[in-house]
Every structure is written in C-alpha cells, then in structure tokens.
Amino acid sequence: MAVKTNNKHPFWTRGNQVLNLDLSHRCPLECPYCLRQKNFKNKNIPVPGQDLSYENFIKITKFVNRILFCGQLSDPIHHPNFIQFLKICYEKNIDTHIATASSYKSKNWFIDAFKSNPDAIWYFGIDGLPKDSHKHRKNQDGEKLFDIMLESTKYLQKKPTWQYIVCKYNENDIDKAINICKENNILFTLINSKRWSKLDELRPTKRKYLE
C-alpha cells in the first residue's frame, strides 16, 4: 500500500467547482494547535460563528459539484443537520468528503451518517495508535473512533482514510499503523504539521517529519 504524505486533501483538484465548508462553531476537542484553542479558547474568548442554515446550504449545492466538510473552527459532524446535508449531497450527486476527529457521537449515529451517503469519502483524524491519539487530539476517544472507522467499511462504497499527524509520541508507530491499515483494507495518509514551535513537547524529533 502506498503511503501518502499530504498537507492538502485530494479534494483540491482542477476541473471542479469545489467548496470547503466550516459548518458551525462546534467541536468538543481541544487540540492545542487548532485555531479554536490558539485564537479563542486559550484567551477566554468565545469561539465565534453559527450553524450554516438549511436554506443557505441548499443555495450552495446549486453551484458546486464537490464539497469538503472540513472545519477550521468546528468539526462537521456536530452540525445539527449534518446527516440531512449528506443525504442532499447524495441525491444531487455531489462529490462529498468529510474530515472528522470527534468521537462525541454514538456508533449508531455514525452508521446513519454512512448510510445517508454511501458514496462519501471519510477522513478520520487519529494521530497515532488509537490508544495514544488523545495526547494530541485532546478529549478524543481514539479507540472508539478507530472502531467507527472500521465499521464504516461495511456501508461506504469508498475506502475511508486514517489521517495521521506525526508527533513525537507517535513517530515510531507509523509502520505499525500502516500494517493495521493493510489488514483492514483502509487507506493511510501522513500529515507533517507546520504548526510546531521549536520547544514543543509534541514536536517530532525526526527531520523528515518537519519538512
């Protein structure tokens, strides 16, 4: 299996009318380098924003043929109409990509989401082996989310992707993660973060993961 190292989603290709949507201001995680934390929560400032309305979403779908649900201030699964949005994309044959790191929905909720749009492509942000991912993805239950990622293969037409940001605590577990993906028929993508400070305790030690 080829391992991709990306700082961009494959969503960004030419020849498409594409849009990335940050659906709301909602996310239960506290990842230290997320804009939510750095710009707002660490300064005791409420995270700004509101939920994208159903009406405005319908307008958007008239002008695009590819949508990525990937939040900078939110996790898309926490929009109250998210499953409905997925159904609309499926009905309108819109190429749909979802990037999530939140484990704060039930397994049954995720199954309903997968069923609502079986053509969608899902990216699961689990940084390291599932038992360790909470060290970067604060408040994440990595083992639960990993189990949900495996469950998705029963309902989705396209393979889900395990998206793995390299940190100090997980840089020696990459080969093991790749083998897990091979065994479970899922894709694997490494992400080299550009947000580390030189004294950061999570910063990888190997130069190739800082480039």
Average the pLDDT over 23-52 and give the result: 94
Confidence at residue 16, expressed as pLDDT on a 0 to 100 scale: 64
Question: How far from the centroid of its chain's Cα atoms is residue 37's Cα?
Answer: 17
Domain range for 140: 4-209
Count of domains observed in the chain: 1
> Beta-strand (E) ranges in the chain?
4-5, 18-21, 66-69, 95-100, 121-125, 161-165, 187-191
Q: Per-residue pLDDT for 1 more than 70?
A: no
Q: Per-residue pLDDT for 121 more than 90?
A: yes
Q: Between vectors from CA 126 to CA 120 and to CA 131, what angle results, nearest 5°?
A: 135
Confidence at residue 17, expressed as pLDDT on a 0 to 100 scale: 83
According to DSSP, the residues that pair with 163 across neighbouring strands are 125, 189
Q: Per-residue pLDDT for 3 more than 80?
A: no
Q: Per-residue pLDDT for 98 more than 80?
A: yes
- In whole angstroms, how large is the CA radius of gyration of the chain? 17
Confidence at residue 27, expressed as pLDDT on a 0 to 100 scale: 97
Q: Per-residue pLDDT for 7 more than 60?
A: no
pLDDT band at 199 (very low <50, low <70, confident <90, very high): confident
Inter-CA distances, 113 with 73, 106, 151, Å:
21, 11, 12
Q: pLDDT digits over 56-71, tens only?
A: 999 999 999 999 999 9
Which of 100, 108, 95 minimizes the C-alpha distance to 126?
100
Average of per-residue pLDDT values in the chain: 92
d(CA 130, CA 128) in angstroms, rounded, equals: 6
Average the pLDDT over 13-39 and give the result: 87
Q: Per-residue pLDDT for 12 more than 80?
A: no
Q: Give, rounded to a whole angstrom, the gap between the first and last alpha carbons of the chain.
A: 22
Q: What is the CATH number of the domain that holds 36?
A: 3.20.20.70
- Ramachandran angles phi, psi of 190, nearest 5°: -90, 140
Confidence at residue 211, expressed as pLDDT on a 0 to 100 scale: 84
